[in-house]
Each structure stands twice: as C-alpha cells, then as structure tokens.
C-alpha cells in the first residue's frame, strides 16, 4: 500500500511529495539500513545509548528482525528512503520484557550494551496495542513532512482496525508532532539513567471520526 502526501509542505520552491509503504522483504535490508542508521544516529535515545560505541551491526540485526517479524514502514522521495519507522502489534508487554531480558544478558558480557539494555527495559502498557518502537528521518529531510506522511499512513490503518497506539517521545519537539496526530500523555515522563533523555509516554485512542471519514470516501 502506498500513501502519497497530499498536503503540500513548501520550502522555497520545493514541494516534497512522499510515497509511504510497508516493507516486508528482507532483500530490501541493504537499501533501508543505511538510511535507518543515518536517521537514528543523532536521535536522543540512540545517541545516549551508543555513547561512543558502534552498534551498527546490532541495529541492522534489529531492523532485519523487524522486517520479518514486525512491521517496517518507510517514506520515500524520488525513490530514495528518507524516513524509517518500526511498529509492533502487541497483545501484552511480554515480548518486550523478553527482549529486555535477552539484551540485559548480552550486556553482562558486553558492558557497552548496558545503556542500550536500559533503553529497552522501559515501562510498557500490558494491554493490546500497536507500538511505534522507532521513527526517524534523515537529517536533510527533517521538517519537510516525511514523519507526518508515515504517521498519517499507519494511523489511518490503526483507526480502521480500532487499534490504540503507544510510543515514547524522546524530545519535546517529537512529542509536539505526535500530539498533533492525536497522542496524549500516558503517565508522567521518565528519565533514562546516566543523565539520559527524558521520555514522554504517549497513547492514542483510535479516532472514530477518521474511521467514518475513511469509510465514506
């Protein structure tokens, strides 16, 4: 399914238009992994967790797992991947607890993974929901609607399927973006250890009015 951003985001004489689609073919890993690495490199949690370490292989492994077991949605412009997001449909928090335990075990042998393990072992709603695990846009395309295009695409489907969505925003700017798409605070913000970033847990109920609009158009 491809979604084309219909609202124009004008910067000078440029009107970015994106196609958004789910990628389920691991053969595309080599094409999207570099964009994902570039987009995530200065993201607040990633920058804090990496702290001078190279986790390229680990991130590639996670992205490959997401392609086969979860959901990867990308935004492309002129055939180039500029935004990547990963989503998980969860019945409970148990899969995330298992992931956190596995990474904590790895961190015992590799202390460089300690912060990454802390970033994964977060409080999480223990009810059925869609989890936006990550979303990042390459630096040169930020502020031009790529993240909005991804959200509109996936949240429209979540509304149709009556699926609530949860995420942790890592900056006030990203929290403001999500608020514009119907997310509201879900508990108090919490900080990661070692002077890590303050995360804002956000929850979004399915928007029935948007479901009605989609069904009638």
Q: Which of 53, 45, 38, 186 is nearest to 118 (CA)?
A: 45
Give me the domain span that covers residue 30. 3-93+121-215
Assess if residue 112 is contained within a domain. Answer: no
Beta strands, E only, 12-164: 19-23, 71-77, 80-90, 129-137
Q: Which of 101, 126, 118, 119 is nearest to 168 (CA)?
A: 119
Assess if residue 159 is contained within a domain. Answer: yes
Assess if residue 109 is contained within a domain. Answer: no
Assess if residue 194 is contained within a domain. Answer: yes
Collapsed DSSP state (helix, strand, coil) of residue 131 = strand
Assess if residue 42 is contained within a domain. Answer: yes
Q: Which helix (H) or strand (E) holds 199?
A: strand 198-204
CB atoms closer than 10 angstroms to residue 217: 5
Tally of structural domains, the chain:
1
Assess if residue 113 is contained within a domain. Answer: no
Q: What is the pLDDT of residues 67-78, one digit of tens each?
A: 999 999 999 999
Q: What is the pLDDT of residues 149-195, one digit of tens each?
A: 999 999 999 999 999 999 999 999 999 999 999 999 999 999 999 99
Q: What is the pTM of this model?
A: 0.86
């Amino acid at each position: 399914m491809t979604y084309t951003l219909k609202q124009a985001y004008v910067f000078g004489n440029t009107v970015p238009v994106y196609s958004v689609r789910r990628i389920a073919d691991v053969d595309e890993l080599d094409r999207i992994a570099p964009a994902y690495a570039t987009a995530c490199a200065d993201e607040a949690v990633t920058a804090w967790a990496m702290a001078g370490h190279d986790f390229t292989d680990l991130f590639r492994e996670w992205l490959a797992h997401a392609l086969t077991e979860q959901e990867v949605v990308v935004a492309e412009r002129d055939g180039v991947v500029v935004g990547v997001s990963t989503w998980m449909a969860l019945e409970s928090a148990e899969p995330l607890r298992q992931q956190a335990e596995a990474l904590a075990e790895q961190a015992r042998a590799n202390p460089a993974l300690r912060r990454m393990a802390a970033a994964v072992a977060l409080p999480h709603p223990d009810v059925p929901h869609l989890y936006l695990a990550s979303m990042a846009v390459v630096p040169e395309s930020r502020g031009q609607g790529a993240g909005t295009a991804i959200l509109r695409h996936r949240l429209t489907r979540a509304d149709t399927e009556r699926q609530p969505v949860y995420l942790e925003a890592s900056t006030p700017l990203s929290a403001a973006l999500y608020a514009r798409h119907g997310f509201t605070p879900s508990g108090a913000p919490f900080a990661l250890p070692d002077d890590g970033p303050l995360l804002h847990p956000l929850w979004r109920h399915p928007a029935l009015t948007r479901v009605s609009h989609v069904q009638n158009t």
